[in-house]
Amino acid sequence: MPHKEQPDFQELLARGQEGDRRAVGRMISRVETNGVADHVMMRQLWAHTGRARVIGITGPPGAGKSTMTDRMVKYWRKKDYRIGVIAVDPSSPFTGGAILGDRVRMNDLALDTGVYIRSMSTRGQLGGLSLACSGAVSVLDACGYDPILIETVGVGQSEVAVMNVADLVLVVSVPGLGDDIQAIKAGILEIGDVFAVNKADLPGADRTARELQIMLGMNPDMNADPPPILMLSAEQNQGVDALCDSVENRFALMQDSNELMTRRNRRLEKELLAYIQDRLYKRVLAPVLIADPFANNIEAFRANERNPYTWAEGIMKKIEERTP
Ligand SMILES: Nc1nc2c(ncn2[C@@H]2O[C@H](COP(=O)(O)OP(=O)(O)OP(=O)(O)O)[C@@H](O)[C@H]2O)c(=O)[nH]1
Ligand SMILES: [Mg+2]
């Protein structure tokens, strides 16, 4: 059966580009449900994308990411940017669409028609959180939002994976984390392009910044061009302007050195190959595995009654017989 184009999509897109936030929301819901598998929609979006600067904001729970996002949006609104915000909520039981609750600290922003805020939970997407997020970014980009901020807690793997969707990653740290700074080091230090020490109104911020500096200095990849470390107090709105300017400068540098395009190309390739792999698995491998699942053979493998490598070759052979 030929794939019928959704007649209303072009209209939704046109309305979204004119600033109709409900149209934007409907498009995001659609990609969120179907991911890039909604190829009709993704194809139509493609020609309109590539302009937005996508900023990932990550860090430990309670570091002030939402407060920072709120302040950064307000600073950039003064420059008349239209801004998209995606808040990935690891614990929320409901999926997107909901205007954010108190937890996100951006309630007054929701009234600003130049800002689109969306929360996304880690549950409920077919293709995984990163794909849903990437689809949402494409919609916002196509509708003229720039920059787009993605906030996520730097804990679980899927939350960290979301940062792959960003062009630039801002890692937020705070004083008094103690040993927790080791946790940051383990997961997200490598992916940071700009570092922020928030809550600089509290004691110990200088020390945190110094520790970060030392840790970043130990990473040989970063020696050539160490990422900037900025101190701020989001709550008191101190240092937010310098942070925003630093992020924008970083983007300009990445653009000049072609790093931005390199990252985007790599990301696109990875995303599409992952999608193809997933389709291949479902269409080619899964039907063959059903007849002779790995799990059914474990005891025979362990008892040396059957060889696991012979089993794997057998699976390959069946696939080759099915695909002429
Ligand atoms: N002292 C101080 N407190 C701050 C600052 N920024 C944020 N906070 C407070 O820190 C708490 C957490 O702030 P959020 O912005 O919700 O932090 P978050 O990182 O988004 O939190 P999660 O999304 O739950 O991980 C709130 O009580 C804020 O008021 C700051 O600059 N200084
Ligand atoms: Mg938050």
In ligand 1, the atom with minimum distance to the C-alpha of 236 is 31
- From residue 162, alpha-carbon distances to 8, 10, 219, 228, 255 in Å are 29, 28, 23, 22, 22
Nearest residue (CA) to ligand 1, atom 2: 199
Task: Output the CA 300–ligand 1 centroid distance in Å.
Answer: 55
Task: Output the CA 245–ligand 2 centroid distance in Å.
Answer: 22
Q: Is 235 in the pocket of ligand 1 (CB under 6 A)?
A: yes
Whether residue 102 is contained in a domain is answered as yes
* Residues 253 and 112 both lie in one domain: yes
Q: What is the 3-state secondary structure (H, E, C) of 104-118?
A: HCCHHHHHCCCEEEE
**pLDDT tens-digit readout, 255-311:** 999 999 999 999 999 888 988 888 899 899 999 999 999 999 999 999 999 999 999
Distance (Å, whole) CA 141 – CA 147:
9
* Residues 121 and 169 both lie in one domain: yes
The pair phi, psi for residue 73, each rounded to 5°, is: -60, -45
What's the CATH number where 125 sits?
3.40.50.300
Distance (Å, whole) CA 139 – CA 48:
9
CB 109 within 8 A of CB 70: yes
Which pLDDT belongs to residue 100?
A: 45
Nearest residue (CA) to ligand 1, atom 30: 199
* Residues 194 and 111 both lie in one domain: yes
Whether residue 265 is contained in a domain is answered as no
Task: Output the CA 197–ligand 1 centroid distance in Å.
Answer: 12
Whether residue 128 is contained in a domain is answered as yes
Planar angle of CA 19, 25, 28, nearest 5 degrees: 115
Query: Higher model confidence: residue 121 or residue 58?
Result: 58
Instruction: Indicate the top mutation candidate among 155, 188, 235 to test ligand 1's pocket, ranked by most ligand atoms within 8 A of CB.
Output: 235
Q: Is 101 in the pocket of ligand 1 (CB under 6 A)?
A: no
Whether residue 251 is contained in a domain is answered as yes
State the pLDDT confidence band at 1, using cuts at 50, 70 and 90. Answer: very low
The one-letter amino acid code at 60 reads: P
* Residues 50 and 90 both lie in one domain: yes
Q: Is 119 in the pocket of ligand 1 (CB under 6 A)?
A: no
Which pLDDT belongs to residue 39?
A: 76
Q: Is 234 in the pocket of ligand 1 (CB under 6 A)?
A: yes
The pair phi, psi for residue 128, each rounded to 5°, is: 95, 160
* Residues 253 and 278 both lie in one domain: no
Instruction: Report the share of the chain in percent with pLDDT over 90.
Output: 57
How many distinct structural domains can be found in the chain?
2
* Residues 100 and 207 both lie in one domain: yes
Whether residue 4 is contained in a domain is answered as no
Distance (Å, whole) CA 301 – CA 80:
64
Whether residue 201 is contained in a domain is answered as yes
**pLDDT tens-digit readout, 180-217:** 565 565 567 788 999 999 999 999 999 989 988 888 87
The one-letter amino acid code at 27 reads: M
**Final residue of a domain: which of 233, 257, 281?**
257
Instruction: Indicate the top mutation candidate among 65, 66, 67 to test ligand 1's pocket, ranked by most ligand atoms within 8 A of CB.
Output: 67
Dihedral sign, CA of 202, 234, 121, 137?
negative
Task: Output the CA 233–ligand 1 centroid distance in Å.
Answer: 10
Q: Is 209 in the pocket of ligand 1 (CB under 6 A)?
A: no
**Final residue of a domain: which of 257, 286, 305?**
257
Distance (Å, whole) CA 24 – CA 21:
5
Q: Is 198 in the pocket of ligand 1 (CB under 6 A)?
A: yes
Give the DSSP letter string of 276-302: HHHHHIIIIIHHHHHHS-HHHHHHHHH
Whether residue 263 is contained in a domain is answered as no
Q: Is 233 in the pocket of ligand 1 (CB under 6 A)?
A: yes
* Residues 277 and 196 both lie in one domain: no
Q: Is 176 in the pocket of ligand 1 (CB under 6 A)?
A: no
CB 60 within 8 A of CB 180: yes
**Final residue of a domain: which of 257, 290, 311?**
257
Q: Is 153 in the pocket of ligand 1 (CB under 6 A)?
A: yes
- From residue 172, alpha-carbon distances to 42, 168, 262, 274 in Å are 32, 13, 25, 29
* Residues 174 and 292 both lie in one domain: no
Whether residue 316 is contained in a domain is answered as yes
Task: Output the CA 145–ligand 2 centroid distance in Å.
Answer: 21
Nearest residue (CA) to ligand 1, atom 9: 64
* Residues 52 and 89 both lie in one domain: yes
User: Which range marks the domain in which residue 308 is found?
Assistant: 272-322
Q: Is 260 in the pocket of ligand 1 (CB under 6 A)?
A: no
Print burial letters for 154-189: b (CB count within 10 Å at least 16), e (below 16): bbeebbbebbbbbbbbbbbbbbebeeebeebbebbb
Lowest average pLDDT, out of 2-16, 130-144, 227-241, goes to 2-16
Distance (Å, whole) CA 65 – CA 243:
13
**pLDDT tens-digit readout, 67-119:** 999 999 999 999 999 999 999 875 544 333 334 444 455 667 777 889 999 98
* Residues 203 and 241 both lie in one domain: yes
* Residues 305 and 242 both lie in one domain: no
* Residues 112 and 196 both lie in one domain: yes
